[in-house]
Amino acid sequence: MADDFKFYTELIVRYEETDAMSVVYYGKYFVYFEVARTEYLKNIGYNYVNIERDGFYFVVAESNCKYFSPARYDDDLKIFAKIEYIKNSSFNFLYNIVKVEKGENKNGNSKGPDVNIAKGNTVLVCVDNVDFRPRRIPDYLRRAIQNFEGF
């Protein structure tokens, strides 16, 4: 399902994230995307806290999500993330959210295949954190992304 993703992070749906339909509110998936971005950057060696200290912000220029099946309270979710391309000042994150079936069957195998919940992307722009004007993505980060993704 998410074969070409080299990274994922996991989280458990909080009650606060559900709505009166008893499913995760559609806007909360963008929070899950953010969690995956943070952990993806840590995974390749960079902490966004430090990127901000270096004078940058990564602002979202565009975000999109398609919803396949509702997630619910206490579901175990995997958020797959990858960077699809990197330009001078912008880059595109792809995400794939799946629900992990809990427990095991009698043979010790997991109860079933993961369920597709949502997928989406966010285009991020590297900007100066004073005036919000586009800046070239720092080379150390560019190289780390290219090394990790292999492009």
Query: Which parts of this chain interact with its own copies (CB under 8 A)?
Result: 12, 14-16, 18-23, 25-28, 30-31, 34-35, 38, 47-49, 57, 59-67, 70, 72-74, 122, 129, 132
Spatial separation of the C-alpha atoms in residues 100 and 112, rounded to whole Å = 9
Burial of 4 (0-12, 13-18, 19+ CB in 10 A): exposed
Spatial separation of the C-alpha atoms in residues 50 and 116, rounded to whole Å = 33
Complex with its own copies: residue 80 or 150, whichever CB lies closer? 80
- Please state, in angstroms and as integers, the Cα–Cα distance from residue 70 to each residue in 6, 20, 37, 75, following that order: 24, 13, 22, 10
Complex with its own copies: residue 1 or 21, whichever CB lies closer? 21
Question: In the bound complex, what is the minimum distance in angstroms from residue 36's beta carbon to its own copies?
Answer: 11
Complex with its own copies: residue 104 or 146, whichever CB lies closer? 104
Question: In the bound complex, what is the minimum distance in angstroms from residue 143's beta carbon to its own copies?
Answer: 23
